[in-house]
Amino acid sequence: MIIREYNDKDFTEWKRLRAKLWPETSGSEHEEEMKTISSGGCFEDELGWKVFVLSEGDALYGFVEISLHEGIDVFDDEPVGYLEGWYIDDNQRNKGYGRLLTEKAEEWSKSKGCMAMASDVEFDNEISLAAHKKLGYEVVDKDDECFILIKKFV
């Protein structure tokens, strides 16, 4: 297993994994978002995106999507990396791959001048909240749907 940058031949496998993470999103919506992200485009407040994948041969077993933000409410005017999506296939969980993917995301964010990583977790997603906390993220705020988490870089 290796962690590497996404490339265009990963599109189908990346879509399969995204559908597991966000099953309520239609296939066409996934494709539209993925095309924007992989082409270097942005949506609203992001300054850029990066995707790393966990792969073995042509198969993908996980991914992390990171965006760059000028700042967020709890980190005004400082660039912040944001864990937008993070998923590991069930059969590859609890092997340390999630940590490796998020570390790669943090390295990339640091290389872009970020002082911290942010993420959000829906209130009822206890597994994700525990995983974030295990990786050093702290709850710093909440909105109507999610906890907002931050991991400051030392």
Write down the pLDDT at residue 37.
83
Range of the domain at 6: 2-112
Residue 23 domain-assigned? yes
Beta carbons of 80 and 41 less than 8 angstroms apart: no
Note whether residue 65 is domain-resident: yes
| Residues 24, 78: Cα–Cα separation, whole Å | 33
Number of independent structural domains in the chain: 1
When pLDDT is averaged across residues 54-73 and rounded to a whole number, the result is 85
pLDDT at 44: 65
What CATH number does residue 27 fall under?
3.40.630.30
Mean pLDDT of the chain: 88
86-113 average pLDDT score: 92
Mean pLDDT within 40-64: 82
pTM for this one?
0.86
* pLDDT one-digit tens code per residue, 2-49: 999 999 999 999 999 999 999 999 999 999 888 888 877 665 665 678
Q: E strands, 1-122, where?
A: 2-5, 46-56, 59-69, 80-88, 116-122
Q: pLDDT above 90 covers what percent of the chain? A: 58
- How far is CA 103 from each of CA 73, 132, 139, 148, rounded to the nearest angstrom? 23, 12, 19, 19
CA pair distance 1, 56, nearest whole angstrom: 5
Backbone φ and ψ for 27, nearest 5 degrees, come out as -60, -40
